[in-house]
Structure 1
Amino acid sequence: MNRLIIALLMSLAPFLMQSQNFEKYENMKDVDAMVMTSKMFKMLAKVELSEDNPEAQQYMKLIENLDRIQIYKSSNSEVRSQMATDVKSYLQKGSLEELMRVNEDGKNIKFYTVSGKNDNYVKELFMYLDGETDGKPMSVILSITGDIDLSQLSKLTADLKVPGAEELKNANKKS
């Protein structure tokens, strides 16, 4: 029985460590951070919406199935270097599959996913942007976890004003 518990904990350890990789950026001076949890999504899902607005209904369905959104942005060169190292480590440890790469207008953007219940859903969408945004060097880490409908996701990322959201909209057209 003890061996079973130890084996289970060891198999879960990489997933537990992965989710912790980026939280250290929350309190750094030169990092803009936003973290939304499932509690926030559940609160938003309780908002009364008109039933004759199907787009709003689909949007609410998307957010009520999310677990967490983490966005970290920095233009500080030391922080950007650390972000690059942490992203590389995260990608090597995880079960993420590359979805798309975009290199244009001074931005190098990579999207990764963890497969979901079918081809239209993912358990995690991970994006890393490194380059220039509005003429400034910038790195952005975005991680969204939950039961994510890819067809609705670009609307959410655009509403959150995430750099790279436009490229995600294009990725949805390709999938």
Structure 2
Amino acid sequence: MEFRSCLDTAMAMGLLDSAQLDELQVRLVEGEEMIGRYAKANLRMAEGCSLEQELLAIKEQVQPTMARLKENDLVVQRENEELAQVEAQIAELQVRRALILQRRDLAVTAGAELKSSARHIFKAATEKKKALAERKLIRARWQANIDGGDIAWRRITCLIWWMFSEGV
């Protein structure tokens, strides 16, 4: 502004003609533009410096949070590992449970088969007992007949005895 007022004064005193004044005013505008650009660049540099300072301040503020985040990541990683171990143990226990249930089912089946076999054996033993009792009875009769002297009866009894002993 001062320079413009000096130009106006020089024009009024007749030291400059209008062509010179126009040229000086064009240069003045160019100079003002350069000064404006310089000011903007200077402002940007100042802003850049302050942005860098702000960035550094933010980094300093964020560092504890980042450290906690890293610690949390480690904690999560450890907990994931522990969880994986627990899941593996659960899977192992499930396999064991399935095995136990399978063995129990086999034991129940074997128990039922043993009961059935025991019934058959008991039935066979009862039949053998009856057969032995019949043999004793026949033998006793045979002995009585031998003692009584009935020879025909003796032969029949011997034949029956032989048939029972041979399983015929």
The normalised TM-score by structure 2 is 0.18
Larger relative contact order (Cα-Cα within 8 Å, sequence gap ≥ 6): 1
The normalised TM-score by structure 1 is 0.18
More helix by share: 2
Which structure is larger by alpha-carbon Rg, 1 or 2?
2
